Amino acid sequence: MTPIQLQQLVQQANQSANAAAAIARQAIQEAQKSGSLLPSILAQLNERKQQSEDLRDALKAVQLSKNFGGPPNLQYIENIPGRRIPFDYIVDINIGANTASVQQGTITIDQSGPFVAVARYATFLSAYEFQRKDPTSGATVAFQGRSNGRYRPIHSAWDLNDGLPRSEAMQAVAFPGTGAPHILSPSNGSPFRTMQPDFRIKVLNAGSSFPRSNIEVPSTFWTTQINSAFELGALDVFERGEMIQFNVLPLHVNNPSFGNINGFGAPDASFPFPGSGFDYIEGINDQDDAAAGTTDPITRLPNGILTIGFHGYRIIQPAGSGPY
């Protein structure tokens, strides 16, 4: 039985109860006027009146509990008419190099029907690039980092290499290889995963009559494990035309050059440069060059793209189907 049919049945029962109660009241009034009815008949009519009133009260309770007052008051997602289609609403937010301010992304719910969010997720795509300016000739050549085009976790809690020390300044190529050795400064090599961000994420839906929590959630809690979808505590319904806004605050710049480990090299007294901590991972030659002087020949552009959104389903509805 559909919600509309059940609503019609409730209305018919209400009408019957009202009619029965009216008849009972009229009969009692006539009997009291004439004074010819036996007390037992009066008792039966009073009982019939009470039963009618109880039935009407029960029907009202059913109506209130189910809220069959029309589509705007529906309480249950199952009662929203329309075809369910698995769907994902996502948005890409650029997190540029040296970005440490709030970045925004918005999603507008399509007019074809409401969207029911089941889980949330996010991932980070590295767009790392760098260029090297030859200290002698001044020629500049651009390259892509090794992480370019690769997805990264959105928090550092899953970084299994956290704090792993570097003990070798040079890792020679194994025989019979003929490639150049892997050179890095052991004190400056970062022990963290390259292009791994950390955020505080806030979801806003100001146009809705049911505002969200409107608090910043650490990206550590935004997903489960390394970057699995996080199941929501309850199904979240976004109506047609609503706008979801993500405010994302980076807690550090991409591949930060924190620390003061520099300026003790030879023959270049400026080696290593502070920004070279992830060079050996990104495929950047980090070797002592006397011609570089105090100017780092490498310009690093650790740009990235945060993809964030909700997984769920859309309820596709025909035109004119009501507010949902």
Highest mean pLDDT: which range of 64-68, 146-150, 155-159, 226-230: 146-150
Q: Is the pLDDT of residue 62 over 70?
A: no
Q: Residues near 40 by Cβ (< 8 Å), separated by ≥ 6?
A: none
Stretch 74-91: mean pLDDT? 86
Q: Is the pLDDT of residue 84 over 90?
A: yes
Q: Is the pLDDT of residue 263 over 90?
A: no
Residue 301 or residue 260, greater confidence: 301
Stretch 208-235: mean pLDDT? 88
Q: Is the pLDDT of residue 13 over 90?
A: no
Q: Is the pLDDT of residue 272 over 60?
A: yes
Q: Is the pLDDT of residue 72 over 70?
A: no
Q: Is the pLDDT of residue 210 over 80?
A: no
Stretch 6-19: mean pLDDT? 66
Stretch 11-34: mean pLDDT? 68
Mean pLDDT of the chain: 81
Residue 320 or residue 108, greater confidence: 108
Nearest to 114 by CA among 247, 246, 235, 203: 235
Confidence (pLDDT) at 6: 57
Q: How far is Cα 176 from Cα 317, in angstroms, rounded to an integer?
A: 67
Share above pLDDT 70 across residues of the chain, in percent, rounded to a whole number: 71
* 117-169 per-position pLDDT tens digit: 999 999 999 999 999 999 889 899 999 999 999 999 999 998 877 766 665 54
Q: Is the pLDDT of residue 197 over 90?
A: yes
What are the start-end ranges of the E strands in 134-198?
A: 140-144, 151-152, 170-171, 182-183
Q: Residues near 154 by Cβ (< 8 Å), separated by ≥ 6?
A: 122, 123, 124, 197, 198, 199, 219, 222, 223, 227, 306
Domain-by-domain residue ranges, the chain? 3-69, 83-316
Confidence (pLDDT) at 300: 94
Residue 284: CB atoms within 10 A of its CB come to 19
Where is average pLDDT lowest: 37-51, 63-77, 277-291?
63-77
What single-letter DSSP state applies at residue 224?
B
CA dihedral 48, 52, 54, 55 (to 10 degrees): 130
Residue 151 token pair: 């997805």
Q: Radius of gyration of the chain from Cα atoms?
A: 35
Confidence (pLDDT) at 249: 97
